[in-house]
């Protein structure tokens, strides 16, 4: 994760004061934070968009944070980093959260710079910096910002390269257009989502992501895009 990358954080917290305080710290750092006060609101949004990091409270109306975490991990098969922020500090609670798939656990009252450091660390862990990235037949040289296909360089614009790299680093994930705008262009207001569609279309052609037997870039209706390894259908007898 680049130091200046804008992160999208989804926060499920029913305490309005706590949510305003923590989300304020996150936005002051230059990131985006969407706050949800009920599990229903969070689940509705999570089905439509994507986040770099999610924070969960434990005690919530109509469901527990642990139940929401299991829903994220099992129902959606999502590997988004999740951090618990809760007043529950018993060892059994911490173990239950970590075993259910939480990546980190903070006990309230949470401290500003610790929270920001933990969020940043989880985002970096999810997108490790590497000079050479291999996704056969594609190779990314991140130092020189160059991509090759079967050893042959492909000419991409700056933003096409950034989008391709972000998609491959998040392969298998459904990424909303808003998430792509934030992470690749660093903005949410100055550009519209058509910009994402235009660049995605160019990448399909330049990298042959609709025809290759290895990878496929799929448009998800009313949501965004997913880059995944493509498995050709079995040949008919």
Q: What is the pLDDT of the chain when averaged over all its residues?
A: 87
Name the least confident of 49-58, 72-81, 200-209, 213-222: 72-81
Statement to judge: residues 111 and 166 lie in one domain: no
Q: Which of 74, 96, 126 is the last residue of a domain?
A: 126
pTM: 0.65
Q: Which of 126, 158, 185 is the last residue of a domain?
A: 126
Statement to judge: residues 122 and 149 lie in one domain: no
- Please say if the pLDDT value at position 202 is more than 60: yes
Structure tokens of 10?
Answer: 């989804």
Statement to judge: residues 136 and 87 lie in one domain: no
Structure tokens of 42?
Answer: 């969070």
Q: How far apart are CA 8 and CA 33, in angstroms?
A: 6
Q: For residue 3, is it within any domain?
A: no
Q: For residue 189, is it within any domain?
A: yes
Q: How confident is the model at residue 221 (pLDDT cuts 50, 70, 90)?
A: confident
Q: How far apart are CA 208 and CA 211, in angstroms?
A: 5
Q: For residue 162, is it within any domain?
A: yes
Q: For residue 2, is it within any domain?
A: no
Statement to judge: residues 186 and 114 lie in one domain: no
Q: For residue 237, is it within any domain?
A: no
Q: Where are the alpha helices (DSSP H) in the chain?
A: 16-28, 39-48, 65-70, 91-99, 112-126, 158-169, 177-180, 194-206
Name the least confident of 75-84, 180-189, 217-226: 180-189
Q: What is the CATH number of the domain that holds 138?
A: 1.10.10.10
Chain segment 49-97, per-residue pLDDT in tens: 888 899 999 999 999 999 999 999 886 657 889 999 999 999 999 999 9
Q: What percent of the chain has pLDDT over 70?
A: 89
3-state SS, residue 224: strand
Statement to judge: residues 113 and 174 lie in one domain: no
> Average pLDDT in the 161-175 region?
90
Statement to judge: residues 116 and 12 lie in one domain: yes
Q: Note down the domain range covering 166.
A: 132-229
Q: Which distant-in-sequence residues (6+ apart) come within 8 Å of 9 by Cβ?
A: 23, 26, 31, 32, 33, 34, 51, 52, 53, 54, 55, 119
Strand partners, 141: 132, 146
Q: Which of 96, 126, 156 is the last residue of a domain?
A: 126
- Please say if the pLDDT value at position 24 is more than 80: yes
Statement to judge: residues 118 and 141 lie in one domain: no
Q: What percent of the chain has pLDDT over 90?
A: 55
Q: For residue 32, is it within any domain?
A: yes
CA distances, 202 to each of 149, 158, 193, 218 (Å): 16, 13, 15, 13
The pLDDT assigned to 189 comes to 46
Q: For residue 235, is it within any domain?
A: no
Name the least confident of 31-40, 86-95, 220-229: 220-229
Statement to judge: residues 119 and 137 lie in one domain: no
> Average pLDDT in the 144-151 region?
90
Statement to judge: residues 117 and 221 lie in one domain: no
Statement to judge: residues 149 and 116 lie in one domain: no
Q: For residue 164, is it within any domain?
A: yes
Statement to judge: residues 140 and 105 lie in one domain: no
- Please say if the pLDDT value at position 236 is more than 60: no
Strand partners, 12: 36, 56
- Please say if the pLDDT value at position 190 is more than 60: no
Q: How far apart are CA 203 and CA 166, in angstroms?
A: 12
Structure tokens of 132?
Answer: 């050479």
Statement to judge: residues 152 and 107 lie in one domain: no
Q: What is the CATH number of the domain that holds 23?
A: 3.40.50.2300
Total count of domains within the chain: 2
């Amino acid at each position: 994760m680049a130091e200046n990358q804008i992160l999208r954080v989804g926060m499920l917290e029913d305490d309005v004061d706590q949510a305003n305080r923590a989300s304020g710290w996150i936005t002051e750092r230059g990131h985006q934070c969407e706050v949800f006060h009920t599990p229903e609101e969070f689940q509705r949004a999570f089905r439509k968009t994507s986040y770099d990091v999610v924070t969960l409270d434990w005690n919530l109306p109509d469901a527990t944070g642990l139940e929401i975490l299991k829903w994220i991990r099992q129902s959606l098969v999502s590997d988004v980093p999740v951090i618990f922020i809760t007043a529950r500090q018993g060892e059994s609670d911490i173990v239950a959260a970590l075993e259910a798939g939480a990546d980190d656990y903070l006990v309230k009252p949470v401290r500003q710079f610790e929270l920001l450091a933990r969020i940043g660390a989880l985002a970096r862990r999810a997108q490790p910096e590497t000079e050479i990235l291999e996704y056969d037949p594609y190779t990314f040289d991140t130092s020189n910002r160059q991509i090759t296909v079967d050893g042959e360089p492909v000419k991409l614009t700056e933003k096409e390269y950034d989008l391709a790299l972000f998609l491959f680093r998040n392969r298998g994930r459904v990424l909303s257009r808003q998430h792509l705008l934030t992470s690749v262009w660093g903005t949410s207001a100055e550009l519209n989502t058509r910009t994402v569609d235009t660049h995605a279309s160019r990448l399909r052609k330049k990298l042959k992501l609709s025809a290759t037997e290895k990878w496929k870039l799929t448009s998800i209706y009313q949501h965004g895009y997913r880059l995944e390894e493509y498995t050709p259908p079995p040949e008919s007898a």
